[in-house]
Amino acid sequence: MAWTEDEDKKAQSQGVESESQAQSAITSVDNGEMQDEQKQQRLNSPVSSEESEQSQKLWGLLESTLKENLIEKRRARRWKIFFRGLSFALIISVIALVMSDADIAEMDTSSNYVAVIPMEGQIGAGQPIDANVVLPLIDDAYAKPGIQALVLKMNSPGGSPVHSGIIYDAIKLKRQQYPDVPTYVVVEDLAASGGYYIASAADTILVDKASLVGSIGVISAGFEATELLKKIGVERRVFTAGENKAFLDPFMPMAPASVKKWQAVLDETHKQFISAVKEGRGERLTDSPDLFSGAVFSGSQAVELGLVDGLSSFYQLVNGEYKGLDVLYFREDKQPWEEVVKSFGVSVTNTLLESMRLR
């Protein structure tokens, strides 16, 4: 086979073209790889950073949503506890009132009982021991057919001689109207002044050996500040119609005539007090000079002086001579809403405090 020079050049030229095409292919492959790497870098750098930020935002939003949901659940639970406590207190109050009314109704018709009137605190208008409140309670106690005895649980430092005298007279009247129903005063800590005034109307006074009894006297206390006004340079101006109208003014000196008149009022009140005690206690009183001096005596001393009848307690009385009888308390009637509010007080307060602690 003959090989010409022209064919040789053609073959060379084809070889160069082949090499050129191969080089171009290699170059294109290299360029493709570079482009892929650049794409991958672009994917791995800014785009993935943005996705990471978006992912963090998404997780943060999800976390805050879950927290808010948890808080709402806690709030709902607190309110649920609150209303449950409120409802429970209301139910208990209603049940207690119904049972109390049922017990009283049953006693009215079929039971003998000891009537008890608690008397605790100061004596006077608007005070815990108010004659306007106590007298209706006494009437209610005696009006019930099964009464076997009236017991006044006394714990009072005294107060108004007027209200003390009114209650004293009411007890004496009931003793006359119901001679077969004995009246007792059981003293706890204190039966002093007006408290003892009331107690002396009873058939029997019982005390603890450490109780404080007596103080059969009258007191009126005040102060004079006329020199104080002079020191601070203040002049008091008082206009009255009646020369004795301002005789107790602490910023004015008290005239001797006013002192004498006021002392006469106190002495007269003291005489009324002494007379009531003597009428109530009678020959049981001893002839002691300290008896009406305003002194206070212990329970044991009071027994020796005849101010009281013996040492005992309310528990011993109702579980001794009157054992087996029902004990019926007579207290001031209050509006139903007052009782409900009172019963709610502790429960609501505790619930609110518990709610605050859950936050």
CA neighbor of 150 nearest in space, from 325, 333, 306, 332: 325
Q: Looking at residues 172-191, what average pLDDT do you find?
A: 96
Q: How many CB atoms lie within 10 A of CB 177?
A: 9
What's the rounded Cα separation, in Å, for the pair 356 and 359?
Answer: 6
Instruction: Write down the pLDDT at residue 160.
Output: 94
Residue listed under structure tokens 């482009």: 35
Residue 225 has pLDDT above 90, yes or no: no
Indicate whether 103 pLDDT > 50.
no
pLDDT for 271 beyond 80 = yes
Candidates 206, 189, 203, 199; CA nearest to 149 is: 203
From 39, 67, 245, 342, active-site residue:
245
pLDDT at site 38: 53
For the chain, what's the residue count? 359
179 has pLDDT over 90: yes
| Average pLDDT score, the chain | 80
Phi–psi pair at 74, nearest 5 degrees: -65, -45
- Which residue did the predictor score with more confidence, 42 or 228? 228
- CA-to-CA distance for 195 and 153, rounded, in angstroms? 11
Judge whether 193 counts as a catalytic residue: yes
The number of C-alpha atoms within 13 Å of 40 and in the hemisphere containing its C-beta is 6
- Considering the candidates 160, 164, 193, 200, report the single residue annotated as catalytic: 193
According to the model, what pLDDT value does residue 243 have?
A: 79
Q: What are phi and psi of 251, to 5 degrees?
A: -100, 10
Rounded to whole angstroms, how far apart are CA atoms 235 and 309? 56
Mean pLDDT of 33-58: 60
Residue with more model confidence, 54 or 34: 54
Q: Is the pLDDT of residue 188 over 60?
A: yes
Q: 150 and 174 in contact (C-beta within 8 Å)?
A: yes
pLDDT band at 232 (very low <50, low <70, confident <90, very high): confident
Report the predicted TM-score, pTM, of the whole model to 2 decimal places. 0.64
What was the pLDDT predicted at 107?
Answer: 47
Percent of the residues in the chain that have a pLDDT greater than 90, as a whole number: 47
For residue 3, the model assigns a pLDDT of: 47
* DSSP-assigned letters across all residues of 343-358: HHHHHHHHHHHHHHHH
**Whether the predicted pLDDT of 256 surpasses 70:** yes
